[in-house]
Structure formats: structure tokens, C-alpha cells
Amino acid sequence: EETETAVPVEKAAKNAGLTFESKDGKRTYFFDDYNPETKSGTLKLVKTGKTKKIIEISPAVHNSVVMSKDGNSLLYLQTSDKNDDMGVLYYWNAKLDEPFKVASDIDHGTFGFAGNEEWVVFIQNLNRIEMQGDLYVKSLEKLKDEKVKIDSAVCRIYGTNPGGAAYIYAKD
């Protein structure tokens, strides 16, 4: 959904710290209808250029959004559980017709871009009592490829090297 003019909610979202802006300043992602109790709202994009356009990306997005370095891509959770942070992980890029569903049963803060941002790394099936789950990677260049399991009993992801061949994470 595109509209031609920016709405006051964009400024309110910036003031509340609920925005993600690309380094070049051409894209600002923000939450509309943000609910602090559920920590979610409708995620929108403001594209600046000759005209300012607002594009709705997705409703019911949890505020644990990860933006790529260039600001062209996002990873986000949608459809949170009753604790407001377990949901479905999506990948969004303006080149896609619609957001791509990466995986379900994902907790907030357990996902990110890997390598040179051509991969997503995430913990799935996190047991909140033991704080352990399964670590996976998935290609964002070949979306039809299956996810690849890296390890089990993983509790936290710290990052990857730029080539994506090494993953730094904690177990147990």
C-alpha cells in the first residue's frame, strides 16, 4: 500500500525511538499503531526522493527488527505469542513481491544477517526454561533452498565473519 504524503505518526515514531533509518537517509522504517503492551505495530517504510512515499510492509510486527547495513532489507517477527516476542521470522526486500517467511517459532533477539548479509542466522524452537534451541542458517539469495542446521543447545548468537563461513554463538 503506497501513499504520497507522510503522516504525523512518522514523526511520533521517530520521537519514540521506533524508527530504523538507512545510512544514506533514503529509507526510514517506522511503526504505525504501535502498542507498547504487545511491543508491535504496523511496520511502514518512508522512501524519500523527488516525492515522499509511505509503503506498508506488514501488520503485527514485533519491535525486534534487524535492518541490513545498506537499509534495503529487513528481518522481522510477525504474529507474536502471548508473551509478545515469539513469532514468525520474515525477510523483506523491496525487490520481493511480498515478505518471505523464513521460519516459525522464533524468539525476539535470536536472529540476524550473516556473512555479507546474503544469509540469515537464527535460533529456532527455543526452550525458554533451558534457554536453548537449534541454530540454523538460510540463504537469502536462494530463498527456495532449505535451511541448514548448524548446531543444537544454542542459547545466543553473537555474529558471523563477513564470508559467513564461521558463526560465533554460545551453548549451554
Mean of the per-residue pLDDT values of the chain: 85
pLDDT-above-90 percentage for the chain = 45
pLDDT of residue 79: 75
Distance from chain centroid for Cα 127? 21
Which triple of cell numbers denotes residue 42? 504496523
Q: What is the arithmetic mean of pLDDT over 24-41?
A: 85
pLDDT of residue 90: 97
CA dihedral 44, 46, 2, 94 (to 10 degrees): -80
Q: What is the arithmetic mean of pLDDT over 88-107?
A: 93
Q: What is the arithmetic mean of pLDDT over 141-150?
A: 94
Indicate the pTM of the whole model: 0.85
Total residues belonging to the chain: 172
- Say whether 150 sits in a helix, a strand or coil: strand
Reported as a single tens digit per residue, the pLDDT across 127-138 is 888 899 999 999
Q: Which residues, other chains included, contact 25 with Cβ-Cβ below 8 Å and sequence gap of 6+?
A: 48
- Say whether 116 sits in a helix, a strand or coil: coil
Reported as a single tens digit per residue, the pLDDT across 40-67 is 889 999 887 777 788 899 998 988 899 9
pLDDT of residue 53: 83
Q: Over 70: is that where the pLDDT of 11 sits?
A: no
